[in-house]
Amino acid sequence: MSSVALPTALPSRRAWVTDLPVLLVAAVWGASYLAAKGITTTHTVIAVLVLRFAVVLPVLAVAGWRRLRALSAAQWRGAGLLGLVLSGIFLLETYGVVYTSATNAGLIISLTMIFTPLAEAAVTRTRPPRTFLAAAGLSVTGVVLLTQGGGFTSPSAGDLLMLLAALARTVHVLAMARIRSVRDADSLSLTTVQLGSAVMVFAVLAAVPGTGPAPWTVAAGFGAAEWAGLIFLSVFCTLFAFFVQMWSVRRTSPSRVSLLLGTEPLWAAAVGISLGGERLGVLGVLGAVLVLAGTAWGRRSAEVRP
pTM across the whole model: 0.82
pLDDT for residue 253? 61
pLDDT of residue 3: 36
pLDDT at 257: 66
pLDDT, residue 199, reads: 94
Find the angle CA(100)-CA(166)-CA(270) to the nearest 5 degrees. 50
138 alpha carbon, distance to own chain's centre: 21
Please give the Cα distance from 139 to 118 (Å, whole number).
13
- pLDDT on residue 259: 64
Q: State the Cα–Cα distance between residues 180 and 76, nearest whole angstrom.
A: 12
121 by DSSP, 3-state: which? helix
Number of C-beta neighbours around residue 224 at 10 A: 7
**For position 292, what pLDDT does the model report?**
79
* DSSP secondary structure of 36-74: HHHH--TTTHHHHHHHHHHHHHHHHHHHTHHHHHT--HH
Nearest-angstrom CA–CA distance, 260 and 239: 18
Q: How many CA atoms lie within 13 A of 210 on its CB side?
A: 0
Sign of CA dihedral 195, 53, 64, 177: negative
State residue 208's pLDDT score.
Answer: 92
CA distance 201 to 205: 6
Per-residue confidence (pLDDT) for residue 6, from 0 to 100: 39
Q: Which helix (H) or strand (E) holds 21?
A: helix 2-39
In whole angstroms, give the CA distance from residue 163 to residue 110.
9
The pLDDT tens digits along the chain (306 residues) read: 433 343 444 355 566 677 788 889 889 998 999 999 999 998 999 999 999 998 899 988 998 888 898 889 999 999 999 999 999 999 999 999 999 888 888 888 888 877 877 888 888 888 878 887 888 888 888 877 776 654 455 678 898 999 999 999 889 888 887 888 887 778 888 889 999 999 999 999 999 998 889 999 999 999 999 999 999 999 999 888 888 876 776 666 655 666 677 778 888 888 888 888 887 778 878 888 887 787 777 767 665 554
